[in-house]
Chains A and B, each alone.
Chain A
C-alpha cells in the first residue's frame, strides 16, 4: 500500500487568548477545515495522534483500525490516537465549532473498554500531535507534527505570601496624631487635678493665710431706694432728708 500523503498543515493550539486552552490535563486545538477534502472520502475517519514530544519520531502509523493504539496505552506506548471523527466533519461546508478539546472526557478509562476515548492527559508533557486519515485499507493521509505543547504545572498555595507589601502611611499618621493628642489630654488632666490637689493641701496647711483663694460670693445689695418724699417737701439733696418748708418769718420791719 502507498505511504500516506503528507499534508502541509501543522496542527496548533489556537492563538486566541482563551484562558482554558491549556490546562493541567487538557489542551485545545484549532479545527482543521478544508484540509482533508482532496484525500478523504465520506467513509474515511480522521484520527488525532497524540504522542510525547520525544516519542513522536518513533511513532509508526497503524496499518489498520484494529491496530490503533488507544488512550489506555499511553503510559506504555508513549502515544495514542483519539478523536475519531468522520472526514465529512472537517469538510469545507460543515458548520462546526472552531476548537477541538483534547482530554475532555473524564469518563474515559472507567469502563475498561477498548473504544477510543478522549481522556485527560496524565502528565504535563510536552506533547506533539498530528492528524491521520484512516481509510479501509489503512492510513491515507497525514498532517505534519505540531510544535511541542506543554501543559500547565500548578504551584502549591503554600508558596503564596499573604503579608502586605508596605505599611500604609495613613495608619502611621492616624496612630501618631492620636497618640500625641491622647498624651496631651492625659497630661492636662493630671496637671489640672494635681494642681487642685496641691492647692487644697496648701490651704489646709496654712488655714489662716491672708491670701485666700476662697473668695466669697458677692451678694448683690440693692442700693436703698429713695423713700418717697412726704407731701409738702421740696426737693433737697439726697441723703439730707426731707425738710419741711418753714413758714416765712415775719417780714422785717422797714
Chain B
C-alpha cells in the first residue's frame, strides 16, 4: 500500500468493524422477520382478507436480506483484510443489490402502517364474519379465516367488535343476516364465559349489563401486534441501511486506493 500505512490500517480496522456489525445486524433482522412471519398472534387471516398483506412480503424479504447481509459481511471482511480488488468489487455490487431489496422492504413496511385503520377491519368484519353465501373458493377461504380469527380474538382478548359491541348494532352485517337481532345483538363470543365455554348470563349479555359482556373493542389487540411488526421491520431495516451506507462508502474509498 502506497498510502500512509497507519491511515490505511485504521480504515481497514474500521471497515472490518463495520462489517462485523452488519453481519450481526443481518442475523438479528433474519430472526426478527422469522418471528413476525410465524404469526404468533394468529392475525394473518385478517390481513389476507384485506387482499393487501404487504407487511408479510416485507418481512419475507427481510429474512433473505438479513441472511445475505451476514454472508456478504464475511466476504467483506475477507476482502478488506486481503486487500483484494476483485473480492471487494463483488462485495460492493452484491451489497448494492441487497441494499435495494432492503430499501423496498423498509418503505413497504413503513407505508403499510397507515393502511391498517379501524374502519378497514370494521368493514371486513361486517362483510366477512360468519358469511354463509360465498361466491367462490377464495371468498370461502377468506370468510372462514376471518370468522375463526375473530372468534378466537373475542374469546382470548375479551373484546367485542372493532370499537365495541355497538358495531354490531350500528351496521347490518353478514352475521346479522344469519343470526336474529333479538337473540344475538352481538355474537355470543362477546359474552363473559364460564369455565365450560358458555355465557355466564346470556340475558345479561344480550342487554349489555356490565360484567356479563366484553365492552372493549378489539382494535387495539389487532393493530398493536401489526404495528409493532411494521415498525420493527421498517425502523430496524432503516438503521441497518444507514450504517451500511457508511460502510459501503468506506469500502469504495478503500477499493479505489488499493494499488494493483
Kindly specify which of A63-71, A159-167, A233-241 makes contact with the partner chain.
A159-167
> How close is B177's CB to chain A, nearest CB, in angstroms?
11
Contact A157 B172, beta carbon cutoff 8 Å: yes
Q: B110, B120, B203, B248: which contacts A101 (Cβ < 8 A)?
A: B203
Contact A25 B181, beta carbon cutoff 8 Å: yes
Q: Which residues of A contact B241 (CB under 8 A)?
A: 178, 181
Contact A18 B208, beta carbon cutoff 8 Å: yes
Kindly specify which of A77-85, A187-195, A220-228 makes contact with the partner chain.
A187-195
Q: How far is the CA of A118 from the CA of B112 in the complex (A)?
A: 50
Contact B169 A152, beta carbon cutoff 8 Å: yes
Q: Which residues of A contact B213 (CB under 8 A)?
A: 20
Main secondary structure of the interface of A (DSSP, over half): loop
Among B126, B180, B207, B241, chain A packs the most CB atoms within 10 A around the CB of B207
Contact A104 B172, beta carbon cutoff 8 Å: no
The answer to whether A186 and B171 touch (CB under 8 A), given A162-B117, A192-B252, is no
Interface presence of A253 (CB below 8 A): no
B residues 211-260 in Cβ contact with A at 8 Å: 213, 215, 234-235, 238, 241-242, 245, 248-249, 252, 255-256, 259-260
Q: How far is the CA of A181 from the CA of B111 in the complex (A)?
A: 18
Contact A155 B259, beta carbon cutoff 8 Å: no
Q: Which residues of B contact A104 (CB under 8 A)?
A: 182
Interface presence of B114 (CB below 8 A): yes
Q: Which residues of B contact A193 (CB under 8 A)?
A: 89
Q: Which residues of A contact B96 (CB under 8 A)?
A: 185-186, 189
Q: How far is the CA of A229 from the CA of B238 in the complex (A)?
A: 70
Q: B145-170, CB under 8 A of A: which get 1 and which 0?
A: 00000000000000000001110011
Contact B100 A182, beta carbon cutoff 8 Å: yes
Q: How far is the CA of A214 from the CA of B203 in the complex (A)?
A: 92
Interface presence of B188 (CB below 8 A): no
Interface presence of B2 (CB below 8 A): yes
Q: Which residues of A contact B107 (CB under 8 A)?
A: 171, 174-175, 178
B residues 169-218 in Cβ contact with A at 8 Å: 169-173, 176, 180-183, 185, 203, 206-209, 213, 215
Interface presence of A168 (CB below 8 A): yes
Q: How far is the CA of A105 from the CA of B126 in the complex (A)?
A: 25
> How close is B114's CB to chain A, nearest CB, in angstroms?
4
| Nearest B residue (CB) for A184 | B245
Q: How far is the CA of A177 from the CA of B215 in the complex (A)?
A: 43
A101-B207, A217-B259 provided; 9 other pairs, C-beta below 8 A? Answer: A18-B207, A19-B185, A162-B122, A166-B114, A167-B114, A170-B110, A175-B110, A178-B241, A185-B248
Q: List 17 A-B contacts (CB under 8 A).
A: A18-B207, A20-B165, A26-B181, A101-B206, A106-B180, A152-B170, A157-B122, A162-B122, A168-B113, A171-B111, A174-B238, A175-B111, A178-B241, A184-B245, A185-B245, A192-B252, A215-B2
Please give me the 7 A-B residue pairs with the lowest Cβ-Cβ distance, nearest first. A20-B208, A19-B208, A162-B120, A157-B126, A120-B182, A171-B110, A20-B207
